[in-house]
């Protein structure tokens, strides 16, 4: 048995001074420290560090197998451990094959099982014509599904049309699993016109209207089929009115945004700075503030990284061509301090981080019986976090496969000191990552293999 004692432990009901009792990797008791005997062997004292639940990042592109040179399980899960993320949910595309069949899921699982430093769960993919694979994928452990409404950026993961979704939604409704949707409506996207080194050219080609038009259709689909749709990486807060109104009518629709939309603003992106390229694009400072308002008032459910790196050459750093560059941002390891830096600036407490980045994404992935909370019965996934430490991001010191991120050179507040996975240290700031202890999680109720 181990006791983790903290003065600032973030429980679901708020921050408290407690002792967390850990046996066999699980939290077995949470008791008032004041009533505990002063001397117990096996006590880890977190002192003034904040104790957060291990984060769950529900949107990570690992790309292995097939594009392991973009990002693989070893690098991604090391970065996760160092970033306080104890569970990642892997996206079904950018690996080859894409996770659209059980065979492909098996390949993913074998790749992840070799060496993962945090726990890994998997989304399955919905592409035209694979509706017959969804039930088998769910039975094989996929925690839900992901699709695109516009071209995904890779040929092996084509986007779906409304008639594909009409066939898919009843199946997902029966399974009770969410459909995660890249919500940009293709007819509202435009050919980029203008200087190719200017982020504005990219931004103007992917207007907020594309998000709005996609979300209008998705709300109708979710309502009609009584199925759960989750909007990934919302960049435009304008669509929140539609989403909130639908939820008020009982439509099962949830929504996430990403650290980069909460941190950066299009006006400040320099010409040629293609590390900032993603889709939907980073919008204006006003949009950023709107996303923060949406998070604070509960209209946005969660924050996920959408970690989607590529080899540096594909980011076109040499030409700075925003149209040619791969659209994806590397951020897994810096998500927590990036969001905390913004939250703190807005006077928010660390409790918000636990909800947005641990509890809510665990519910999305159906793993909330064991992940995302410091509670009796949950895995002892814990993060010792210094909320006041300031540090400057040096991409070469990140565990991501490639040292490329728009956070380069930024000073962030908040530093992960120690990460525990099922009660064992998987990262410590003084020594780095340890032995790989990650396991594979099966959906929908998180059975560990």
Q: Which stretch binds Zn ion (CB under 5 A): 9-17, 257-265, 305-313, 357-365?
A: 305-313
Nearer to Zn ion, 57 or 379 (CB): 57
Q: Which stretch binds Zn ion (CB under 5 A): 161-169, 306-314, 381-389, 405-413?
A: 306-314
Q: Shortest gap between Cβ of 116 and Zn ion (angstroms)?
A: 19
Q: Site size for Zn ion, by CB under 5 A?
A: 1
Q: Which stretch binds Zn ion (CB under 5 A): 41-49, 173-181, 299-307, 414-422?
A: 299-307
Q: Which stretch binds Zn ion (CB under 5 A): 298-306, 315-323, 354-362, 365-373?
A: 298-306
List the one residue out of 263, 256, 308, 365 whose CA is nearest residue 76.
Answer: 308
Angle at 281 between CA 280 and CA 282, to 5 degrees: 125
Q: Shortest gap between Cβ of 400 and Zn ion (angstroms)?
A: 15
> How far, in Å, CA of 120 to CA of 73, rounded?
9
Residue with tokens 């592409």: 127
Q: Shortest gap between Cβ of 328 and Zn ion (angstroms)?
A: 7
Q: Shortest gap between Cβ of 297 and Zn ion (angstroms)?
A: 25
Nearer to Zn ion, 189 or 389 (CB): 189
Give the β-pairing of 382-392 and 411-421: antiparallel
Task: Count the Cβ atoms, other than its own, within 10 Å of residue 351.
Answer: 17
Residue with tokens 């076109």: 316
215 phi and psi, to 5 degrees?
-65, -35
Nearer to Zn ion, 154 or 348 (CB): 154
Q: Which stretch binds Zn ion (CB under 5 A): 220-228, 271-279, 301-309, 366-374?
A: 301-309
Nearer to Zn ion, 90 or 306 (CB): 306
In 3-state terms, what secondary structure has residue 378? coil
Q: Which stretch binds Zn ion (CB under 5 A): 42-50, 72-80, 304-312, 408-416?
A: 304-312
Q: Point out the residue whose Cβ comes nearest to Zn ion.
A: 306
Whether the ω angle into residue 248 lies within 30 degrees of 0, i.e. cis, is: no
Residue with tokens 């998070």: 295
Binding flags for Zn ion, 358-397, as an x/- string (CB under 5 A): ----------------------------------------
Structure tokens at 185: 């409506």
**Taking CB under 5 A as the rule, does residue 184 contact Zn ion?**
no
What does each C-alpha distance from 386 to 52, 56, 336, 345 come to in angstroms?
Answer: 10, 19, 11, 16
Q: Shortest gap between Cβ of 306 and Zn ion (angstroms)?
A: 4
**Taking CB under 5 A as the rule, does residue 306 contact Zn ion?**
yes
420 phi and psi, to 5 degrees?
-110, 135
* Contact criterion met (CB below 8 Å) for 379 and 49: no
Q: Shortest gap between Cβ of 263 and Zn ion (angstroms)?
A: 17
Q: Shortest gap between Cβ of 49 and Zn ion (angstroms)?
A: 32
**Taking CB under 5 A as the rule, does residue 57 contact Zn ion?**
no
Angle at 240 between CA 368 and CA 414, to 5 degrees: 55
Q: How many helices (H) and strands (E) does the chain have?
A: 12, 19
Q: Which stretch binds Zn ion (CB under 5 A): 63-71, 107-115, 302-310, 388-396?
A: 302-310
Nearer to Zn ion, 87 or 419 (CB): 87
354 phi and psi, to 5 degrees?
-65, -35
Q: Shortest gap between Cβ of 434 and Zn ion (angstroms)?
A: 29
% helix, strand, coil for the chain, step of 5? 35, 25, 45
Nearer to Zn ion, 51 or 329 (CB): 329
Chain residues binding Zn ion by CB under 5 A are 306
């Amino acid at each position: 048995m181990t006791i983790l004692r903290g003065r600032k432990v973030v429980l679901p009901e708020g921050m408290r001074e407690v002792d967390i009792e850990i046996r066999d990797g699980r939290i077995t008791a949470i008791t008032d420290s004041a009533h505990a005997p002063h001397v117990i062997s096996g006590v880890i004292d977190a002192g003034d560090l904040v104790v957060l639940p291990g984060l769950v990042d529900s949107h990570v592109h690992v790309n292995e197998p097939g594009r392991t040179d973009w990002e693989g399980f070893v690098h991604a899960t090391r970065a996760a451990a160092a970033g306080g993320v104890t569970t990642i949910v892997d996206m079904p595309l950018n690996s080859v094959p894409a996770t659209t069949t059980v065979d492909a899921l098996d390949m993913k699982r074998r790749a992840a099982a070799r060496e993962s430093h945090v726990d890994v769960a998997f989304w399955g993919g919905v592409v035209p014509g694979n509706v017959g694979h969804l039930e088998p994928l769910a039975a094989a452990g996929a925690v839900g599904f992901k699709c695109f409404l516009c071209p995904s950026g890779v040929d092996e993961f084509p986007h779906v049309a409304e008639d594909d979704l009409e066939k898919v939604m009843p199946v997902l409704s029966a399974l009770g699993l969410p459909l995660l949707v890249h919500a940009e409506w293709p007819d509202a996207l435009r050919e980029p016109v203008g200087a190719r080194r200017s982020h504005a050219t990219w931004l103007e080609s992917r207007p907020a209207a594309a998000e709005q038009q996609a979300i209008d259709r998705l709300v109708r689909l979710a309502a009609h089929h009584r199925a759960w749709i989750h909007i990934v990486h919302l960049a435009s807060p304008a669509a929140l009115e539609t989403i909130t109104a639908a939820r008020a009518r009982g439509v099962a629709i949830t929504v996430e945004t990403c650290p980069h939309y909460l941190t950066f603003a299009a006006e400040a992106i320099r010409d040629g700075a293609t590390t900032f390229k993603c889709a939907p694009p980073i919008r204006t400072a006003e949009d950023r503030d709107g996303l923060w308002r949406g998070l604070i008032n509960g209209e946005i459910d969660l924050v996920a990284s959408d970690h989607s790196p590529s080899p540096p050459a594909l980011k076109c750093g040499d030409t700075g061509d925003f149209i040619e560059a791969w659209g994806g941002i590397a951020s897994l390891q810096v998500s927590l301090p990036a969001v905390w830096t913004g939250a703190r600036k807005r006077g928010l407490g660390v409790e918000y981080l636990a909800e947005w980045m641990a509890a809510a994404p665990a519910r999305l992935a159906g793993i909330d019986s064991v992940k995302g909370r410091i509670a009796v019965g949950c895995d002892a996934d814990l993060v010792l976090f210094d909320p006041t430490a300031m540090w400057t991001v040096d991409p070469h010191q990140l565990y991501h496969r490639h040292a490329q991120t728009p956070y380069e050179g930024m000073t962030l507040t908040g530093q992960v000191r120690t990460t525990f996975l099922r009660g064992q240290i998987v990262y410590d700031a003084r020594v780095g990552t340890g032995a790989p202890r990650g396991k594979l999680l099966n959906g929908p109720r998180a059975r560990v293999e």
